[in-house]
Amino acid sequence: MRPSQDTLPPIVSDKVLHHEEHETGSLPPASVTLLRQRRKLHVINPLWYRNSLLASVGFLEFANAGDFAANVWNDVPVPLYAIIFMAIGGPLALLISGFAVRDSVLSWQNVRILQKERKYLQSLRAQHLECPAPDPTTLRFIDRRLGVSHRELGTELVDRIVMDVFLGIGGLLVGTGTIMAIWGSDRHVYLISNLLSGFVGNSFAALYGIINAIWSVYLVWRFHSYDRACSRAGAMLAPFRDRLQRRFQCFKWHAVASGWTGLIAGGASMMTSRLWEGYVILIPCMLLEVACNRFWRVQLGYDRPIVAPDSPLHRGILVPESPYNPASNSSSPRLGYPNSTSIPNIKNEEANVEPEEKDHLLLDALSSVISLQTALVPILPSTLVLEDVDWSSLDSLLLFIVNNHLFDCLCDWLAKNSAVPKDFRHRVFRLATNPSSSEITVTLTDLRHMNQNEDQPRMLEMCQLFLQTEARQVMIGRERYLLEMVGYTIWKND
pLDDT in tens, 38-58: 778 888 888 899 999 999 999
> ω into residue 381 within 30 of 0, thus cis?
no
Residues 410 and 295 in one domain: no
122, pLDDT greater than 90: yes
- pLDDT value for 128: 87
Handedness of CA 52, 53, 56, 57 (dihedral sign): positive
DSSP β-bridge partners for residue 41: 36
**pLDDT band at 313, cuts 50/70/90?**
low
82, pLDDT greater than 90: no
Digit-coded pLDDT (tens) for 18-33: 333 333 344 556 888 8
Instruction: Say how far apart CA 28 and CA 405 lie, in whole Å.
Output: 11
Instruction: Say how far apart CA 338 and CA 53 lie, in whole Å.
Output: 36
**pLDDT band at 8, cuts 50/70/90?**
very low
Contact criterion met (CB below 8 Å) for 384 and 375: yes
- pLDDT value for 358: 56
Contact criterion met (CB below 8 Å) for 306 and 47: yes
> Within 10 A of 246 (CB to CB), how many other CB atoms are there?
14
- pLDDT value for 450: 84
- Could you say which DSSP state residue 304 is in? E
- pLDDT value for 277: 83
- pLDDT value for 346: 31
Does residue 195 fall inside a structural domain?
A: yes
**pLDDT band at 80, cuts 50/70/90?**
confident
- pLDDT value for 315: 65
- State the distance between the two ends of the chain, measured CA to CA, in whole angstroms: 24
Does residue 426 fall inside a structural domain?
A: yes
Q: For the ranges 81-85, 110-114, 204-208, which has the lowest average pLDDT?
A: 81-85
User: How big, in percent rounded to 5, are the helix, strand and coil portions of the chain?
Assistant: 65, 5, 30
Digit-coded pLDDT (tens) for 472-491: 999 999 999 999 999 999 99
Residues 265 and 360 in one domain: no
224, pLDDT greater than 50: yes
The mean pLDDT of 149-158, rounded to a whole number, is: 96
Residues 371 and 279 in one domain: no
- pLDDT value for 199: 82
Does residue 398 fall inside a structural domain?
A: yes
Q: For the ranges 72-76, 212-216, 298-302, 371-375, which has the lowest average pLDDT?
A: 72-76
Residues 92 and 35 in one domain: no
Residues 35 and 70 in one domain: no
Does residue 350 fall inside a structural domain?
A: no
Q: With 0.85 as the threshold, say if the pTM is over it.
A: no
**pLDDT band at 308, cuts 50/70/90?**
confident
Indicate the burial class of 352 (C-beta count within 10 angstroms; 0-12, 13-18, 19 or more). Answer: exposed
The more confident residue out of 234 and 290 is 290
Does residue 66 fall inside a structural domain?
A: yes
- pLDDT value for 352: 43
Digit-coded pLDDT (tens) for 166-221: 999 999 998 898 888 888 777 788 788 878 877 888 899 999 999 999 999 999 99
The mean pLDDT of 374-386, rounded to a whole number, is: 67
- pLDDT value for 51: 95
Whole-number average pLDDT of the chain: 81
Does residue 324 fall inside a structural domain?
A: no
Q: For the ranges 92-106, 118-132, 312-326, 429-443, which has the lowest average pLDDT?
A: 312-326
Residues 403 and 271 in one domain: no
Residues 101 and 219 in one domain: yes
Calculate ∠ Cα 146-151-157, nearest 5°.
Answer: 120
387, pLDDT greater than 50: yes
Residues 74 and 208 in one domain: yes
Amino acid letter for position 413: W
Residues 147 and 100 in one domain: yes
- pLDDT value for 382: 54
**pLDDT band at 351, cuts 50/70/90?**
very low
> Which domain range does residue 76 map to?
52-223+256-301
- pLDDT value for 179: 87
Q: What is the 3-state secondary structure (H, E, C) of 23-57?
A: HHCCCCCCEEEEEEECCEEEEEECCEECCCCCHHH
- pLDDT value for 185: 72
- Could you say which DSSP state residue 380 is in? B
**pLDDT band at 329, cuts 50/70/90?**
very low
Say how many domains are in the chain.
Answer: 2
Residues 484 and 420 in one domain: yes
Q: For the ranges 99-113, 215-229, 314-328, which has the lowest average pLDDT?
A: 314-328
307, pLDDT greater than 70: yes
Residues 296 and 203 in one domain: yes
Residues 289 and 413 in one domain: no
Look at residues 301, 322, 337 and tell me which one is the last residue of a structural domain.
301
Does residue 158 fall inside a structural domain?
A: yes
**pLDDT band at 71, cuts 50/70/90?**
confident
The mean pLDDT of 442-461, rounded to a whole number, is: 87
The mean pLDDT of 237-254, rounded to a whole number, is: 94
The mean pLDDT of 145-161, rounded to a whole number, is: 95
Q: Hey, which of 186-195, 409-418, 448-457 has the most confident mean pLDDT?
A: 409-418
Q: For the ranges 214-223, 225-234, 322-331, which has the lowest average pLDDT?
A: 322-331
462, pLDDT greater than 90: yes
Cα dihedral 356, 357, 359, 363, rounded to 10, equals: 80
- pLDDT value for 269: 86
Does residue 231 fall inside a structural domain?
A: no
The number of angstroms, rounded, from the C-alpha of 355 to the middle of its chain's C-alpha atoms is 28
Look at residues 284, 301, 318 and tell me which one is the last residue of a structural domain.
301
Q: Hey, which of 209-218, 425-434, 445-454 has the most confident mean pLDDT?
A: 209-218
**pLDDT band at 6, cuts 50/70/90?**
very low
Contact criterion met (CB below 8 Å) for 370 and 362: no
- pLDDT value for 451: 82
